Amino acid sequence: MKTPKISEAVIRRLPVYLRYLQHLHEMNITTVSSLDLGQHLEMNPAQIRKDLAYFGEFGRKGIGYDVEYLIAKIKQILKLDRRLNVALVGAGNLGTALSNYNRYTNEKMKIVAIFDSFPEKIGTKIGTVKVQPIQELAKTVKEQDVKIGIITVPATEAQKVADQMVEAGIKGILNFAPITMRVPNHVYLRNADLTTELQSLAYYIG
Amino acid sequence: MKTPKISEAVIRRLPVYLRYLQHLHEMNITTVSSLDLGQHLEMNPAQIRKDLAYFGEFGRKGIGYDVEYLIAKIKQILKLDRRLNVALVGAGNLGTALSNYNRYTNEKMKIVAIFDSFPEKIGTKIGTVKVQPIQELAKTVKEQDVKIGIITVPATEAQKVADQMVEAGIKGILNFAPITMRVPNHVYLRNADLTTELQSLAYYIG
């Protein structure tokens, strides 16, 4: 069955559900209601039911969702059940933190190549991945079938790196640089922002 | 006028609006409609109007919102218009990246103290802030009137650090460690996750 076209808002909520479901699974909790999910995630339970109903009827009235089944199903929907190679450009502090974090998760989405433009970084290793010169990006993307790029370079370099990623055939970009980036329509771009969570905290502080 | 009690979901959306409004302001765009905001942020314009209407009537029919006024108003609502001191525990790669990022923003929320437990980190500087031993947390929180704590230590250490922050009188915690943390009800906790954006990217890749 072909999945219908789903709004980006729904797709962005699925990893949030997934994270909490994985936590429940670790706690040996086997079923969860949309009400529980809604309370924990501070979302409308009806919205959650609607989001999940796009992909079939998973929940059972009065019982809820089977945690393990829903984890597998969301991974399948997000296509996290297949190997997906990621390249990261910018082996600074944030790039290193992301690479280390990724190394310890057992997801199939893996950072397989890391690039930088600083000569002193080239050849050093983050985990088991050797930092390559940025000039090798295109070649490595092809050889290793890299589909996703993460940008953790300074703002001034970020657009240039994005252009190189697009040129090399990368299909999706996660950008951490605080700029408004331009990419062609066939490339999917997401901007990550470390400051929004911090800003919403201020409201609650006496 | 006392602000009415606002749902957490609304408070978490305000920084997202703020980020885009600041971008518009940098581009010298002076007004924006809820439709424009909705299209760019992939949200329902009616939801945006409703969120902003909690705080008064900012928008004008057929004209939209005044960008500069709305920025000032959201900062005021989120209490970002006053000085707010932040302490960070965990001077590793992510902690260093966050500290450096915070240093270059002109927000009034500032990381004024950094702590670590590794002897080789103590006394080193990130920007202008010297890394202190974790034992000095309580004293510094009091002396510098720190209200918010950021946790960027490994998962195994994170709960202990949170307990120390609570004990020291910190009111809000932003946790980057991938654990489910417990804090008392009077402390406001947010968990940041670097992986959700990456996971939603997978869906869009061929």
- Binding-site residues of B for NAD(+): 90-95
Sign of the dihedral defined by the CA atoms of residues A119, A122, A127, A129, in that order: positive
B89, B149: one domain: yes
Lowest mean pLDDT among A64-78, A116-130, B16-30, B55-69: B55-69
Tokens describing residue A47: 């919205």
Nearest CA in chain B to A9: B42
Identify whether A17 is part of a domain: yes
Task: Inspect the interface and report whether the beta carbons of A78 and B190 lie closer than 8 Å.
Answer: no
Q: What is the CATH number of the domain that holds B147?
A: 3.40.50.720
Query: At which of A34, A55, A77 does a domain end?
Result: A77
B191: helix, strand or coil: strand
Considering the domain architecture, whether residues B69 and B90 belong to the same structural domain is answered as no
Of B11, B102, B193, the CB nearest to A200: B11
What pLDDT score was predicted for residue B157?
Answer: 95
Please indicate, yes or no, if residue A72 is contained in any of the structural domains.
yes
Q: Which of B77, B92, B114 is the last residue of a domain?
A: B77
Give domain status of residue B180, yes or no.
yes
Please compute the mean of the pLDDT values over residues B120-133 and round it to a whole number.
95
pLDDT, tens digit (0-9, with 9 covering 90-100), for A171-203: 999 999 877 788 998 999 988 877 778 888 888
User: Measured between alpha carbons, how far is A138 from A132 in angstroms, rounded to an integer?
Assistant: 12
A36 — phi, psi (to 5°)? -60, -50
Instruction: Give B100's pLDDT tier (boundaries 50, 70, 90).
Output: confident
Q: How far apart are CA A170 and CA A185, in angstroms?
A: 12
Q: Report percent pLDDT > 90 for chain B.
A: 51
Nearest CA in chain A to B192: A197
Residue B206 lies in a domain: no
* Gap between the Cα atoms of A121 and B51, Å rounded: 46
Q: Does some domain include residue A2?
A: no
- Averaged confidence pLDDT in chain B: 88
Instruction: Search chain B and give the residue with CA nearest A87.
Output: B198
Residue of higher predicted confidence among B147 and B2: B147
Q: What is the pLDDT of residues B109-119, one digit of tens each?
A: 899 999 999 99
Residues B91 and B180 in one domain: yes
Q: Is the model more confident about B179 or about B28?
A: B28
Report the run of H or E that residue A166 belongs to, with start and end: helix A155-168
- Does B126 have pLDDT greater than 90? yes
d(CA A58, CA A41): 19
Q: Is B198–A150 a contact, with Cβ atoms under 8 angstroms apart?
A: yes
In terms of domains, do B94 and B183 share one? yes
Closest partner residue to A203 (CB to CB) among B43, B79, B150 is: B79
Mean pLDDT across chain A: 88
The reply to whether A56 and A149 lie within a common domain is no
CATH code of the domain containing A72: 1.10.10.10
Question: Is B84 in contact with A193 (Cβ distance < 8 A)?
Answer: no
Q: Percent of chain B at pLDDT above 70?
A: 95
pLDDT digits (tens, 9 = 90+) for A144-168: 999 999 999 998 999 999 999 999 9
In DSSP notation, B39-108 reads: HHHTS-HHHHHHHHHTT----BTTTBEEHHHHHHHHHHHTTTTS-EEEEEE--SHHHHHHHHHHHHS--S
Give the model confidence (pLDDT) of A70-101 as tens digits: 999 999 999 898 899 999 999 999 999 999 87
Grade residue B206 by pLDDT with cuts at 50, 70 and 90. low
A109 with A141, same domain: the answer is yes
Instruction: Provide the pLDDT for residue A197.
Output: 80
Confidence of residue B1 (pLDDT cuts 50, 70, 90): very low
Range with the largest mean pLDDT of B81-85, B101-105, B195-199 = B81-85
Same domain, B31 and B89: no
Beta bridge partners of B60: B64
Sheet holding B109-116, edge to edge: B125-126, B129-133, B109-116, B84-89, B146-151, B172-175, B188-191
B47 and B133 housed in the same domain? no
Interchain CB contacts (distance < 8 Å): A and B? 164
Domain end, chosen from B77, B103, B135, is at: B77
Kindly state the average pLDDT of the residues B52-62. 76
Both B36 and B95 in one domain: the answer is no
Dist CA A48 CA B181 (whole Å) = 24
Q: Which residues of A touch B92 (CB under 8 A)?
A: 97
Residues B146 and B69 in one domain: no
Question: Do B183 and B120 share a domain, yes or no?
Answer: yes
Query: How many domains are there within chain B?
Result: 2
pLDDT tens for A108-133 read 889 999 999 999 999 999 989 999 99
Indicate the burial class of A39 (C-beta count within 10 angstroms; 0-12, 13-18, 19 or more).
exposed
Q: Which residue has the tokens 């993460």?
A: A150
Q: Per the domain annotation, does B203 fall within a domain?
A: no
Model pLDDT, residue B119: 95
**Is B204 a member of any domain?**
no
CB B22 within 8 A of CB B75: no
Q: Which residues in chain B have Cβ-Cβ distances shorter than 8 Å to A86?
A: 198
pLDDT, position A1: 43
Whether residue A190 sits in one domain with residue A119: yes
What is the pTM (predicted TM-score) of this model? 0.80
Confidence tier at B106 by pLDDT (50, 70, 90): low
Do the chains contact at B150 and A198, CB–CB below 8 Å? yes
Please report the pLDDT score of residue B141 as a whole number.
98
Q: Among partner residues A23, A79, A203, which is closest to B11 by beta-carbon distance?
A: A203
pLDDT at A180: 74
Give the H/E segment covering residue B30. none
In a domain, B73, yes or no: yes
pLDDT at A4: 57
> Known binding site: residues of A?
90-95
Residue A50's domain spans which residues?
8-77
For B23, the closest of A180, A196, A201 (CB atoms) is: A180
Residue numbering of the annotated binding site of A for NAD(+): 90-95
